[in-house]
Structure formats: C-alpha cells, structure tokens
Structure 1
Amino acid sequence: MAAASSQNTIARQWQLLKLIPTRPPGSEAKLLTQQYLAVTTKQ
C-alpha cells in the first residue's frame, strides 16, 4: 500500500511541476492548483 501511495504522490507532484512556467512572470500556487484540478478532473 505504501508503494502505491508513494507513486500517486510522485505523479501528482510531476503534474504540478509541468504546470510551473519556465519564464517570468511566475505563477501563484492558487492558479497552479486550479490548473492542476482542471487537468486531473478531465481524465
């Protein structure tokens, strides 16, 4: 069970990392969370 939970955590973190802009201006955590939820609820 711990391995599955760990994999889910890594997958969520990877999705959030892909949303972070690589150039200025940056992004707020609130906006990143909204984008993440929009992406994950479509699946």
Structure 2
Amino acid sequence: MVKTADGYKAIAHIQAGDRVLSKDEASGETGYKPVTAPIR
C-alpha cells in the first residue's frame, strides 16, 4: 500500500498525477508529490 493525499492505495493502482508521500533524500523534506509516470 502507498500513502496518497487521498488515503492508501495499492501500488498497482497508482497513476500519473496521484500525489504520494515521498521524501527528498538530499534535503530530508517529506511531502505529497505528484507521480509523473508509474513504473510497471
């Protein structure tokens, strides 16, 4: 399951434009960022 801005979703159902919780490893910042293209 992936945490999105709208709740949890199965990773197979993630689409471009979904905002998922992510972390920038360089700055340590976490937040909801849009998926640009899912990797299948």
- TM-score (normalised: structure 2): 0.23
Could you say which structure has the higher strand fraction? 2
Instruction: Answer with 1 or 2: which has the greater Rg.
Output: 1
Q: Which has the higher contact order (CA 8 A, sep 6+)?
A: 2
